[in-house]
Amino acid sequence: MNQNPSHTEKELLIGVAAGNEEAFSRLVNLYRNKVFSHALTFVKSYEEAEEITQDIFVKVWANRHRLPEVKDFKNYLFILGRNHLVSAIRKKVMDTISNNDEEDIPGTLLLPDTQVEYKETYRHLINGLDRLPPQQKAVFTLSRMENLSHAEIGERLGISKRTVKFHLVQALNFLREYLRYPGLLLIVWLF
Amino acid sequence: MNEQAFKELLDQYITGRLSHENQSTFAMLLEKPEYQAMLEAELERSFMDDEFEGTETAERKARLNTLIFEKIAVKPQGPVHRVHFLRRSWVKITAAAAILLLMGSVAYYSWLKPVKKETVASLGPAANILPGGNKATLTLGDGSVIVLDSAANGAIAQQGNSQIKKTKNGELIYAQTQNSGGPLTTHHSPLAFNTLATPRGGQYQLVLPDGSKVWLNAVSSITYPASFTGTERRVEITGEAYFEVTHNKKMPFVVTANGTNVTVLGTHFNVNAYAYENARRVTLLEGSVKVSQSAIGPASKREQSANNAERSVVLRPGEQAVMAVGHSPLTIDHSPDLEQAVAWKNGKFSFGETADIHSVMNQVADWYNVNVVYKGATNKHISGTISRNVNLGLLLQLLKTTGVADFNVEGKTVEVIMN
């Protein structure tokens, strides 16, 4: 894909190459969420997605002299993070196998057996589920509670498999962010 | 396996629907260059299509900006939104007490370690302030001092019949070397007193010549003879220490801490006698101890006789003797929070329901070797458990989430801004 970077973006890149911090800040604002969302989807770890995002933008700054020659900045961003992503994914898959009793946490948490053990987390998860947009919540619930396949969920809700996948990823990414806060186990008592 | 089947596995992976069987298959495929290429192509396509782009929260934006700009050492331009960590839903709650319950696991929160830079309160430098560790000095009978964190492991000194060994785990062991028989031993006084002292940000473990174990918290000390002789085993402490005393009916173990004596035969207990605490506390976990208080201050004779019974108490396991500062009598708390009392020994900070911000920050100051200044006042309480292994930035970030106070760190000084 060879999008032409917009005029403004090209200007930004030249600005960054010249060491202009404001330009860099604007560039980060344009792409930060794209880079992070993508990384979180594939590495499934909030911490690692942060690391990858940080790494990519730090590389952009460190190699800013190259920016004037970059034809497709978005693709350049991808390439800067590619190896990191691939190795993080492989590590994640291997780790999951070595802890083969631990499924995806939200999935496990919905099993009644583990509810006691994870009572706090479970309650927090439910709170998180309630904050999902209705469609995401419906897809997530059907997938995890009723254990339906993507095709079955699509049929049930009248949406495509691809949309099911999108909603599931969004729901998981939201929960990964929501559950990561210490607020997970944070209680306020009023005296 | 064809490309379509591989993509199906990848979809299952990202949606968390990969079966155990498929997991192994997927892992195997990812070792092969041709499937790695397929993965890379899918990664690229989904990135270029913004296929999974979600909503960015203000919190995340601030965190990522901090991570990025911290690394390249330039400041993000434009207003940095001051985001209250998870506070939004509680802003309207004027909690008299905020309970912070963090259930230990540092690993779980370790991704919090980068700390936001904010325009008002800055925790940035705090991320570099590391928690305390195994640090202490040992003063021998002749007054010579050994700095334990830099001393090599192994035998470091001989005191009378005891050989002093240092292990790599921050532990000092007094081993009895009876019949060492050399002519030198006769020159040693049998009552060579040694003192093990921890600085701010230090802790240490000690195995006494009788096999009793002592855990010494930060800014604490213990003075003991290099070998126990006579009718009792007497040690003196300042600050806080946890004891696991070996049983010896013939030789009771006596701990003196700032006018409080704890006499035991063999047991597990904690003595907290920090000068800044509003009370000295002896918490018993196992066995039995007698806690007695030396007369403090000029109480009238009548008062003294009235309080006589309270000058000495016997604790049962799970009880805590409390000696408030001043002339207060010795009281027993029958159901103290045991976990909290010995949390420090288990690598945690634990603040009880009555812990005010000053008590919390006193512990923080001792462990991170920082100075604390206060701005404003509050009567809110914080309680909960946090690992002592985290850097100061993370600790403050977590404390901040209670909404009780905000923090500003400059150099080694933490400013506590009451909310």
- Domain limits, chain A: 7-98, 105-185
Handedness of CA A14, A20, A23, A24 (dihedral sign): positive
CATH topology for the A7-98 domain: Rna Polymerase Sigma Factor; Chain: A (1.10.1740)
- Residue B401: pLDDT band by 50, 70, 90 thresholds? confident
Q: What is the pLDDT of residue B280?
A: 83
B352 touches chain A (CB under 8 A): no
Question: Which class would CATH give A105-185?
Answer: mainly alpha
Instruction: Tell me the residues of chain B between 66 and 95 that have a Cβ less than 8 Å away from chain A.
Output: 67-69, 71-72, 74-78, 85-86, 90, 93, 95
Q: Do A47 and B77 make contact, defined as CB atoms within 8 angstroms? A: no
User: What is the ipTM metric for this complex?
Assistant: 0.85
Query: What mean pLDDT do residues B325-332 have?
Result: 73
- Tokens for B210? 């009788």
A-chain CB neighbours of B30 within 8 Å are: 89-90, 93
Q: What is the pLDDT of residue B119?
A: 33
Helix, strand or coil for residue B400?
helix
Measured CA to CA, the distance from residue B91 to residue B95 in angstroms comes to 9
Q: What is the pLDDT of residue B5?
A: 92
Q: What is the pLDDT of residue B265?
A: 73
Q: From A184, A91, A132, select the one nearest B54 (Cα to Cα).
A: A132
Q: What is the pLDDT of residue B26?
A: 93
Of the partner residues A34, A53, A94, the one whose CB lies closest to the CB of residue B27? A94
Q: What is the pLDDT of residue A181?
A: 54
Of the partner residues A37, A53, A93, the one whose CB lies closest to the CB of residue B26? A93
**Which residues in chain A show pLDDT less than 50?**
1-5, 101-105, 108-109, 114-117, 182-191
Q: Do A54 and B76 make contact, defined as CB atoms within 8 angstroms? A: no
Instruction: Tell me the residues of chain A between 56 and 75 that have a Cβ less than 8 Å away from chain B.
Output: 57-58, 61-62, 74-75
Of the partner residues B16, B26, B78, the one whose CB lies closest to the CB of residue A107? B16
Query: What mean pLDDT do residues B345-363 have?
Result: 80
User: B365-396, pLDDT tens digit by residue?
Assistant: 889 989 998 888 777 777 777 788 888 888 88
Q: What is the CATH number of domain B230-336?
A: 2.60.120.1440
Measured CA to CA, the distance from residue B357 to residue B351 in angstroms comes to 10
- Residue B116: pLDDT band by 50, 70, 90 thresholds? very low
Q: What is the pLDDT of residue B49?
A: 93
Q: What is the pLDDT of residue B402?
A: 75
- Tokens for B24? 């192994």
pLDDT at B11 over 60: yes
pLDDT at B203 over 50: yes
Chain mean pLDDT for chain B:
76
B257 close to B273: Cβ distance less than 8 angstroms: yes
Measured CA to CA, the distance from residue B50 to residue A27 in angstroms comes to 16
- Domain limits, chain B: 3-48, 55-129+344-419, 132-227, 230-336
Q: Do A186 and B20 make contact, defined as CB atoms within 8 angstroms? A: no
Number of A to B CB contacts under 8 A, please give it: 180
Q: What is the pLDDT of residue A75?
A: 96
- Find how far residue B275's CA is from the centre of its chain: 18
How many beta carbons lie within 10 A of that of residue A8, not counting itself? 10
Most confident range (mean pLDDT) of A87-101, A157-171, B95-109, B252-266 is A157-171
Higher pLDDT, B303 or B263: B263
Higher pLDDT, B7 or B291: B7
Query: What mean pLDDT do residues B198-226 have?
Result: 91
Measured CA to CA, the distance from residue B57 to residue B199 in angstroms comes to 42
pLDDT at B127 over 60: yes
Higher pLDDT, B280 or B112: B280
pLDDT at B230 over 80: yes
- The secondary element (H helix, E strand) that includes residue A98 is helix A73-98
Q: What is the pLDDT of residue A119?
A: 63
Q: How close does chain B come to A6, measured CA to CA in Å? A: 15
Measured CA to CA, the distance from residue B275 to residue B96 in angstroms comes to 27
CATH number, domain B55-129+344-419, options 3.40.50.300, 3.55.50.30, 3.30.420.10, 2.30.42.10: 3.55.50.30
Measured CA to CA, the distance from residue B324 to residue B282 in angstroms comes to 12
Query: What mean pLDDT do residues B324-338 have?
Result: 77
- The secondary element (H helix, E strand) that includes residue A101 is none
